[in-house]
Amino acid sequence: MNLPKVIANLTEAQNNFDSQAYASCFAETAVVFDEGKTHQGKAEIEQWIKKANEEYQAVMKPIDYLPAEEILKAEVSGNFPGSPIVLSYHLEIKNDLIESLKITG
């Protein structure tokens, strides 16, 4: 599967539980929507993913990418009920950085 570099980097950072590398995939003013909460800005995104990594230890395996819609489908497994599950990552990418990410089940 041919993923944009920023998505490949995001996946690698997630699978290494590297919250700094994960946050570096985002623009300074990026927004993440996950589990009914909004996380704004790079620093807040880094804190959110650090906490999620500690709690869930989730790894993601990309299974499909729809470039026209900028949607990544990934199998996510970790320490949470129902693992593994397939999640959709709705992205807005600009200048090789993620501007917006909405994660849905």
65 in the Ramachandran plot: left (φ > 0), alpha (ψ -120 to 50) or beta? beta
The token duo for 56 is 């869930």
pLDDT exceeds cutoff 90 at 100 = yes
pLDDT given for residue 85 in this prediction = 97
pLDDT given for residue 37 in this prediction = 96
d(CA 97, CA 81): 31
The token duo for 101 is 């990410």
Question: Model confidence over 1-60: pLDDT tens digits?
Answer: 899 999 999 999 999 999 999 999 999 999 999 999 999 999 999 999 999 999 999 999
pLDDT given for residue 1 in this prediction = 83
pLDDT given for residue 101 in this prediction = 98
Range 5-104: architecture per CATH: Roll (3.10)
pTM, two decimals, is: 0.94
